[in-house]
Structure 1
Amino acid sequence: MANSLQQQLMKAGLADKKAARRAKQQKREDVNRARREGGDEDAAERARRQRQEQAERDRQLEVQRQAEREEKEKQAQLRQLIEAHRLPREQGEVGFRFVQERKVKTIYVTAAQQAQLANGRLALVAQGEGYELVPAEVVDKIRERDEGVVLVCNTPSAKKQDEDDPYAGYEVPDDLMW
């Protein structure tokens, strides 16, 4: 019946001999491929399974791309937040030491900024290869996006003194250098 339909299409001018030959060739190749690959499994089932596998790979790839987009967006928000709230550090004369990745590093700040860092009113954050000073109120927003960016954020402590402390009269200065 296929030949008769094919012949009818050719007589009507909707198909030519070349197209008919290509269709027969494609059908033979599909049958041979099915015989080589699957044995009893028919081509439709195999094609359905391949489409499902491809759809699953595409879903996984889309989830990965979405995670990458969210990470880029979070980093952009972090950069913008730091840029908007950073304080200038020109011509600092006092070295402020801090630990980053198990190494002691030094930045130069003014004496007032050093006191504010020690009291917990300022925080030190890493941005790219450099460091920035930001107000302590902004640190919570920064930590929501990336905890590792905040290098120094002292919490102001209420000075609680022990009654029997023999050194109670000797106060440790905030600008003590180590």
Structure 2
Amino acid sequence: MAKANALQAQLLKAGLVKKSQVSQVANQQAKARVDKHDPKAAAIAAEAELARIEAEKARLEKVERDRQIAAERNAERRANELRAQARQIIADKKVLAKGEAEYRFNDGEVIRTLLLTEAVRKQVIDAALVIVRDGEGYCLLPRVAAVQVRERAPELIVLDNAGRDYVEPSTGNAEDDAYYAQFQVPDDLVW
């Protein structure tokens, strides 16, 4: 103890430490000696360490949860931006074609009708024009614009005849299928 005091006195004399620092170190050393021999103090210190570990774990979980929420918001915001771009393309590029000929198409489980001219109807059948959702209704887009819309919001494309493969329905009877195969059903059948 005397050596420690002599060392402290020398450090104070040399001006390397302040008196408050010396007393603080002495208090910490005294407390450490008491804690070493006191089981209650050791239990309290262990409890404090567990609480610190739990608090750090909770903080890390909150950071991870916040990161996930931010990622979801960013993804949702990006999807909304893409849908807005698709709607803008539709507004800029839509083809106005009102006519007397009815063109029927499926939108999911519902059959919808557009009134078109024969020339425009032929373009839809030949896949030069594509039917897309436009707000509550439908409109026609040129193929190039429809490709841009499909890249941003494919759910807005209702009917695109490009690459559509027709599969002959089967009656389940090979003889009947062979007989009916000789009759051609036109692709542009008006019904």
**What interval of TM-score do these two structures reach, taking the shorter chain for normalisation?**
0.5 to 0.7
The structure-2 alpha-carbon separation of the partners of 1:58 and 1:176, relative to structure 1 and needing over 3 Å to count, comes to same
2:149 aligns to what? 142
| C-alpha displacement of 1:39 | 5.4
User: Which of these residues, 58, 61, 65, is aligned with residue 57 of structure 1?
Assistant: 65
Q: Distance in 2 between matches of 1:156 and 1:42?
A: 65
Q: Distance in 2 between matches of 1:148 and 1:61?
A: 25
User: Which of these residues, 101, 112, 115, is aligned with residue 108 of structure 1?
Assistant: 115
Larger Rg belongs to: 2
TM-score where L is the length of structure 2: 0.60
| Residue 177 of structure 1 pairs with residue 173 of structure 2 | no
Identity percentage of aligned residues: 33
User: Which of these residues, 120, 125, 128, is aligned with residue 132 of structure 2?
Assistant: 125
2:96 aligns to what? 88
For 1:62, the aligned partner's letter is A
Q: Distance in 2 between matches of 1:156 and 1:45?
A: 61
1:72 aligns to what? 80
Q: Is the 8 A contact 1:125 1:151 kept in 2?
A: yes
| Deviation sequence 1:133-167 (CA, Å, 0-9, x none) | 0011222212112223212222389xxxxxxx977
For 1:52, the aligned partner's letter is L
For 1:132, the aligned partner's letter is C
| C-alpha displacement of 1:80 | 0.8
Q: Distance in 1 between matches of 2:163 and 2:75?
A: 37
What is the aligned residue count? 132
User: Structure 1: any 5+ residue segments left out of the alignment?
Assistant: 6-34, 158-164
What RMSD over aligned residues (CA atoms) do the two structures have, in Å?
2.8
**Which deviates more, 71-80 or 146-155?**
146-155
For 1:49, the aligned partner's letter is K
User: Structure 2: any 5+ residue segments left out of the alignment?
Assistant: 1-19, 21-43, 165-180
TM-score where L is the length of structure 1: 0.64
Secondary structure of 1:87's aligned partner: coil
| Deviation sequence 1:19-66 (CA, Å, 0-9, x none) | xxxxxxxxxxxxxxxx8xx95753322221121111011101101111
